[in-house]
Structure 1
Amino acid sequence: MKPFDPYRLDRKLMRAAARETRALKAAGPAAYRAALEKSFASYLGRRYCLLTDSGRTALRLAVLALRPGGGTAAFPDITHPSLAEAAEGFKLLPLDIDPRTLNLSETALKKAAPGLDLLLLPHMFATPAPIEAALRLARRHGFAVIEDASQILGGALRGRKYGSFGDIGVLSLSPYKPVSSPFARAGALLCDSPEIYKKLLALNPPPPKPQALPFLKLKLARLDATLETSRAANAVYRAALKDYGRYIPAGISPKTQEFPLLIPDRAGAEKIFKAAGVPLERIYKPLRLEKKLPGVLPVADEYWRSALHLPAWPLMTAAECRRAAALVKKHLDRFKTAPAPTPGKKFPPPSYIALDLTYRCGLDCSFCFVKRHGLAGGRELGLAGWLKLIKDLGPGAKKFYLTGGEPLLAPFLPQLVKKLNALGHSSLVTTALFAPAAAAAALAKAGPGEIVVSVHGWPALHERSAGAPGAWKTALRNLELIKKRRAPGTRLTLWCTINSANHARLHRVWKTLKALGPDGIAFNHLEFCSEKDLAATQGLLEGAGLSTPMKSSAGLAKGIDAKVLAAEISKIKAEAGNSVSFYPDLPGPALRAWYSPGARFKKSGFCRGQFSAAWLSPSGQLLTCQPLAVKIGGPETYNGPAYAAFRKLLIKNGGFLPACRRCGREPYSSAGRA
């Protein structure tokens, strides 16, 4: 058996294909193709199917049938070039992707939707794109949707097959896809509308070569079994890389044929694979770069810098998957400790910037760092001060994390968000919404990329955690205001900190949050520091001439039963799947260690935030981060001696200080992601 053979299934089916070829000759190509088209339509639950000579042809015909007059066509920046080529003559609009799924970002689509005539929406990596949201926006704004289900053929959403949602569904049936022929390319067009079907027929779609048809028939009949072999390969990868989960995008399907990772130094990994003779799957160059289109799309750029695709082809053996995974681990183990900065080296301007706009807040949460460290009080910058500081932080598109305290108490927040939008930056605002209704409405209208609202349970439990009577009623009023008045493209996420009051009923908490109708839900594991870890950290910092106001907080974990919590999390994941995030996402043993203050919770990698992010206090002081709150100086000290000393201290101590063991914050917990 040839190792790492993408055509293994084809070789297995050769004899059966020979028998089917005889049947094709007996029936005649046209009749055989017509019967196969009915099989495809039936499998996907569509009324009509037309087979053609390639997926590229299918895409172009779909565009001509739906929008012959042209207009503006959008597609995700990370996809096959044929999607952009199919919309030749249109104004092309690539959109950014979701870092969890590597598919089209729903937030980006919402912003673009009012100006679209056509959306080409592929499901990349067998992972669902936001098709339902796309259809809602299409009905509202009048654009057509071409759904490319080539990489997700066989997948379904609530019993309905992907490829059956768009105005037209398109399939590329090119070699070594789950349904394909090794001898010739093919494509398919699927629809339900008689009018659209007539338009497609009028375009005279060229049929596939007859020799492709027997394999298409055989592989469609056994598609579910084929997908199980891809699932098995994915499962082996996930098991082999269980300690490297931070490199696997959280929302990627367990059935994908190309297992994507986002890693540091991809070129180094490619050399290791080449030397071992192990093939890798293709990486998608952003279409914006390939077609020389305008735009700044940071998530797509991050994918292009760091993506590595492992093969997960049908009938791959577990041994082959383990071999590929071993090569990945060999590469990634180089990054368990960050490379030491060379003397005098300057880091590029930070791409992620957290602004503590104010430390004022009407809540009294026991797990709040601001309260615990005594950070409140002192000078606060106004809008002009923040804008000057943002300029001083250097060029490039950045992601801004606007937080506090309660940032809604900063009266200039809406103006700051609008300014960041105008400068091409993205922004995320955290809030407990314990503020006047006018402030919430103004924020919604300003249009940040995401609003993250802290909600810690049902009404009584939320107010108990927040330590403020009336917190639920005020938050709910403001939440409804934001849902009604938010700008197109603003994502609404509900955020819950796991604590002693809610951990044993977390499933009920999730149901409460889900009923509020957010776009996403996230749980943050309680962050705390033991006396021992704090003392060790203080000693290390003093040796470098630095200090931290951090206080011991192990008592916060008292009463949290990790076994009960693990069961609650399992129930949530079983029902919610990838729609809910946990920061960090901990397997059972790690979860027990996290909530055992006496245990030494181990973290591999290094704190990426200290090399690519900046955190600033309300007065504009540069901090290492809010949890540790080591003061560095003004923004100009990002590459100064004090920060260099802190970074070297991190590297010398394995990438994290002892007090950082139970930090779940991105990017500060994204160990090893350079």
Structure 2
Amino acid sequence: MIPFLDLKTQYLSIKDEIDSAVLKVLESTQFVLGNEVTALEQEFANYCSAKQGIAVNTGTSALHLALLAAGIGAGDEVITIPFTFVATVAAICYTGATPVFVDIDPVCYTIDVNQIEKAITERTKAILPVHLYGQPADMKPIMEIARRHGLTVIEDAAQAHGAEYKGQRIGSIGDIGCFSFYPGKNLGAYGEGGMIVTNNPEYAHTMQMLRDWGQERKYHHVIKGYNYRMDGIQGAILRVKLRYLEKWTEARRANAAQYDALLKDLNLTIPTVMPYSRHVYHVYAVRSPQRDELQKKLNDQGIQTGIHYPIPVHLQPAYADLGYKIGDFPHSELAAREIFSLPMYAELTSAQINTVADSLQGILQGVTV
């Protein structure tokens, strides 16, 4: 069996450091926030070339607080894409604002920058680009559009730890950047976690209060807030893992290069790396009109795959109230029918990649188009 993701192998490679860090928190009894979380905030902000980091309990909470700090609320509109994990859209709805969708670029799967401006109305307050699969959205035109129209840019970087746009780290380009530390991410906690980075001290102060019941100091509640605090144990674990992130990222990129070389001549669409991008391959997403058949046959041969994502948000029953229908975003809908993800993690071996490629080649030769 070649697993889609192998968290245990990664843990075993750093077990002594992780175990020591967790025991240190247990002995300190700083179980919520505390010194480890504070240190992680600065270390991760530095990694992203941002001034401040605000640690929270999930990537979804990061998005929610970023939107609130930017003043997004009822009656406002936020532009994003429907081809993303549902949390991107849910966070907009949590504020009372309305998500307004723009289709994806069919080559790189991030927001089609040529469609953004026509989606702007007098109610638009923000653009929320998603750096999908580990590849940045095209941030320069996004920022130019935002500045022309006085809009806030909030980066959904949940899948893009360490990705770069024209040499600049993702998360520090827009007004606010939001990351997830869900266990399967490139930098994953051993539980839930998230981080917000920003260069704006007012945003940072507001989000620090919002994540901790709106307190400026204990029992002094300045604004209505939430319980979105990070656990001390997760902060300690993430500090250990952050020291390895660049090494793991380069391993992912090397694995992707091997996949590229082995799959380039098959009847399969492999990832396109945009010229402005340092892709960090949260997933290695390929596409084929015969996706379902390929997935089944790979699984039969002991190779696990994933789909990110099978139903775009505008066609999810939970978001039917937004009023969209089949055909509104054709590139997102086609991608949802064709894309699937091959095993991808730093510990994936060259032999395993060869096995996946050989299996795909054999299957595709027998697939009827």
TM-score range, shorter chain: 0.7 to 0.9
Structure-1 residue corresponding to 2:143: 135
Alignment of 1:500-511 (within 5 A): none
2:52 matched to 1:53? no
CA distance in 1, matches of 2:2, 2:163: 29
Shift of 1:324: 1.8
2:336 matched to 1:322? no
Deviations along 1:312-367, one digit per CA (max 9) or x if unpaired, are 112101111122222322332245x74xxxxxxxxxxxxxxxxxxxxxxxxxxxxx
Alignment of 1:483-494 (within 5 A): none
CA distance in 1, matches of 2:139, 2:78: 16
Deviations along 1:561-619, one digit per CA (max 9) or x if unpaired, are xxxxxxxxxxxxxxxxxxxxxxxxxxxxxxxxxxxxxxxxxxxxxxxxxxxxxxxxxxx
Letter in 1 for 2:107: R
Structure-2 residue corresponding to 1:123: 131
CA contact (8 A) 2:37 2:236 kept: no
Structure-1 residue corresponding to 2:35: 31
2:17 matched to 1:16? yes
CA distance in 1, matches of 2:357, 2:132: 22
SS class of match (2:69): helix
Letter in 2 for 1:286: P
2:365 matched to 1:333? yes
Alignment of 1:624-663 (within 5 A): none
Structure-2 residue corresponding to 1:289: 315
Letter in 1 for 2:182: S
**Residue 227 (structure 1) aligned to one of 243, 249, 252:** 249
2:72 matched to 1:72? no
Shift of 1:28: 5.7
CA distance in 1, matches of 2:50, 2:92: 24
Deviations along 1:27-58, one digit per CA (max 9) or x if unpaired, are 66311211111111111111111111110111
Shift of 1:257: 2.8
Question: With CA pairs under 8 Å and 6+ residues apart, which has the higher RCO, 1 or 2?
Answer: 2
SS class of match (2:128): strand
Question: Structure 2, unaligned stretches of length 5 or more?
Answer: 213-227
Structure-2 residue corresponding to 1:301: 333
Structure-2 residue corresponding to 1:642: none
Letter in 1 for 2:55: L
Letter in 1 for 2:119: A
Deviations along 1:399-451, one digit per CA (max 9) or x if unpaired, are xxxxxxxxxxxxxxxxxxxxxxxxxxxxxxxxxxxxxxxxxxxxxxxxxxxxx
Structure-2 residue corresponding to 1:258: 283
Letter in 2 for 1:138: A
CA distance in 1, matches of 2:79, 2:5: 35
Shift of 1:238: 0.9
Letter in 2 for 1:261: V
CA distance in 2, matches of 1:53, 1:261: 31
Q: Note closer, same or farther for the CA distance 1:327–1:109 as it changes in structure 2 (3 Å cut).
A: farther
**Residue 163 (structure 1) aligned to one of 160, 171, 185:** 171
Shift of 1:299: 0.7
Shift of 1:209: 2.2
CA distance in 2, matches of 1:188, 1:304: 28
**Residue 294 (structure 2) aligned to one of 251, 260, 269:** 269
Larger radius of gyration: 1
2:215 matched to 1:211? no
Shift of 1:114: 4.6
CA distance in 2, matches of 1:261, 1:4: 14
Letter in 1 for 2:306: E
Letter in 2 for 1:228: E
Alignment of 1:86-165 (within 5 A): 86-88=91-93, 89-115=96-122, 116-165=124-173
Structure-1 residue corresponding to 2:305: 280
Letter in 1 for 2:360: V
CA distance in 1, matches of 2:162, 2:5: 22
The total of aligned residue pairs comes to: 336
SS class of match (1:247): coil
CA distance in 1, matches of 2:28, 2:243: 19
Q: Note closer, same or farther for the CA distance 1:4–1:90 as it changes in structure 2 (3 Å cut).
A: closer
CA distance in 2, matches of 1:288, 1:222: 37
CA distance in 2, matches of 1:41, 1:303: 33
Structure-2 residue corresponding to 1:440: none
Deviations along 1:89-116, one digit per CA (max 9) or x if unpaired, are 2222121111110111111213223552
Structure-1 residue corresponding to 2:6: 6
TM-score, structure 2 as length reference: 0.85
Structure-2 residue corresponding to 1:311: 343
CA contact (8 A) 1:94 1:287 kept: no
CA distance in 2, matches of 1:4, 1:306: 18
Q: Note closer, same or farther for the CA distance 1:32–1:283 as it changes in structure 2 (3 Å cut).
A: closer
CA contact (8 A) 1:74 1:92 kept: yes
CA contact (8 A) 1:261 1:308 kept: yes
SS class of match (1:118): strand
Q: Note closer, same or farther for the CA distance 1:245–1:154 as it changes in structure 2 (3 Å cut).
A: farther
SS class of match (2:266): helix
Alignment of 1:336-375 (within 5 A): 338=369
TM-score, structure 1 as length reference: 0.48
Q: Note closer, same or farther for the CA distance 1:53–1:94 as it changes in structure 2 (3 Å cut).
A: same
Structure-1 residue corresponding to 2:258: 236
Shift of 1:171: 0.4
Letter in 2 for 1:300: S
CA contact (8 A) 2:5 2:184 kept: no
Shift of 1:3: 5.3
CA distance in 2, matches of 1:211, 1:132: 37
Structure-2 residue corresponding to 1:63: 67
SS class of match (1:288): helix
CA distance in 1, matches of 2:239, 2:86: 27
Percent identity between the two aligned chains: 26
Letter in 2 for 1:193: N
CA contact (8 A) 2:36 2:232 kept: no
CA distance in 2, matches of 1:272, 1:97: 29
Letter in 2 for 1:6: D
CA contact (8 A) 1:4 1:320 kept: no
Shift of 1:65: 1.2
CA distance in 2, matches of 1:212, 1:277: 33
Structure-2 residue corresponding to 1:536: none
Letter in 1 for 2:209: A
CA contact (8 A) 2:55 2:194 kept: yes
Q: Note closer, same or farther for the CA distance 1:274–1:179 as it changes in structure 2 (3 Å cut).
A: same
CA contact (8 A) 1:117 1:144 kept: yes
SS class of match (2:303): coil
